[in-house]
């Protein structure tokens, strides 16, 4: 047993446990917890980040800090990346991972990027003989720390079992969305829906309050009627009804509004390229851009409620 997790792979003949050599590149708010869970699962994790503080935290969590990407991936059986944006992913894979990692290593990019870049990196990896998957995540920092992320995977069908096993220490559920790029497509569409539904939830709470209905009582009603959605039942923007929601922590932690804005921009770029009509997604992008421009992009995205209530000063005071 390993805190309720599956133990490292074992030798079927001897029963001995074996550890996987994992390179983890990108140890930010999400990547740090993800790498720590790989180490907790008993794997040998060589970790790299440009931040010395992030490397120190990874070391304290049982990872071995590496001096460079090349050093981290040199002996890796699995390479996992969690990077800010598409250009970073393309550069790191094209210039520092492909050719430096063993050719039999499994390459997994868990960043949220555009579909086109994901497919381009997959092509570079395939041409060099690597198995590659785009595997963006849903769940935020709490799930990253707890090892309960949802992974949306784009990969060759024959590689999925290996991908799923590699992600298991970090995962609550892993779903193959389709071929390369499909994981990113799923993430972009999912987060556009989340951004829109959160705005709808915040608008409804703000209106309920104006009409004299207590937001706590509105939660009781909406969570059990046709207005029910994840933004209500799992992430209610008003303090109290959902104790684990960031609304109870002055909207600190969770999923930053600036990150939601990034994902909504990706959705709008994808919509423009594909000719899809996404008017609510476009309006959501504009709303989160306004909130970010007012200096609150670091708050959890459910803090949009305070802007809709006309109470941004409460955030400034916090």
CA distances from 210 to 242, 285, 305 (A): 21, 25, 13
260 in Cβ contact with 274 (< 8 Å): no
CA 172 to CA 168: how far, in whole Å? 8
Helix (H, G, I), strand (E, B) or coil at 282: helix
Helix (H, G, I), strand (E, B) or coil at 275: coil
288 in Cβ contact with 301 (< 8 Å): yes
* Set 40, 187, 210, 265: catalytic member: 187
Task: Please indicate whether residue 187 is annotated as part of the active site.
Answer: yes
Beta carbons within 10 angstroms of residue 178's beta carbon: 14
Name the residue with tokens 């220490």.
169
CA 210 to CA 208: how far, in whole Å? 5
Task: Give every CB contact of residue 161 below 8 A, 6+ residues apart in sequence.
Answer: none
CA nearest neighbour of 305 among 264, 221, 245: 245
- Indicate which residues carry an active-site annotation: 187
């Amino acid at each position: 047993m390993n805190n309720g997790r599956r133990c490292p792979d074992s030798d079927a003949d001897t029963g001995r446990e074996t550890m996987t050599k994992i390179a983890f590149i990108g140890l930010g708010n999400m990547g740090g917890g993800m790498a720590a869970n790989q180490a907790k699962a008993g794997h040998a994790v060589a970790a790299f980040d440009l931040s010395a503080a992030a490397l120190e935290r990874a070391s304290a969590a049982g990872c071995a800090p590496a001096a460079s990407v090349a050093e981290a991936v040199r002996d890796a059986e699995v390479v996992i990346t969690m990077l800010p944006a598409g250009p970073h992913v393309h550069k790191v894979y094209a210039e520092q991972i492909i050719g430096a990692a063993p050719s039999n290593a499994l390459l997994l990019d868990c960043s949220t990027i555009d579909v086109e870049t994901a497919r381009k990196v997959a092509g570079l990896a395939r041409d060099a003989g690597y198995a590659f998957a785009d595997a963006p995540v849903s769940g935020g920092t709490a799930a990253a720390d707890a090892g309960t992320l949802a992974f949306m995977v784009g990969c060759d069908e024959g590689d999925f079992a290996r991908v799923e096993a590699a992600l298991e220490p970090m995962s609550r559920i892993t779903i193959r969305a389709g071929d390369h790029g499909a994981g990113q497509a799923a993430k972009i569409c999912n987060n556009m829906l989340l951004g829109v539904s959160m705005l709808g939830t915040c608008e409804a709470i703000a209106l309920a309050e104006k009409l004299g209905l207590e937001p706590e009582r509105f939660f009781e009603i909406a969570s059990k009627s046709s207005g029910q959605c994840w933004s209500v039942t799992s992430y209610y923007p008003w303090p109290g009804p959902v104790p684990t929601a960031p609304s109870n922590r002055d909207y600190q932690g969770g999923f930053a509004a600036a990150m939601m804005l990034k994902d909504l921009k990706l959705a709008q770029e994808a919509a423009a390229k594909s000719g899809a009509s996404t008017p609510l997604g476009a309006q959501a992008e504009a709303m989160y851009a306004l909130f970010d421009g007012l200096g609150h992009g670091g708050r959890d995205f459910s803090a949009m409620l305070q802007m809709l209530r006309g109470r941004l000063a409460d955030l400034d005071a916090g």
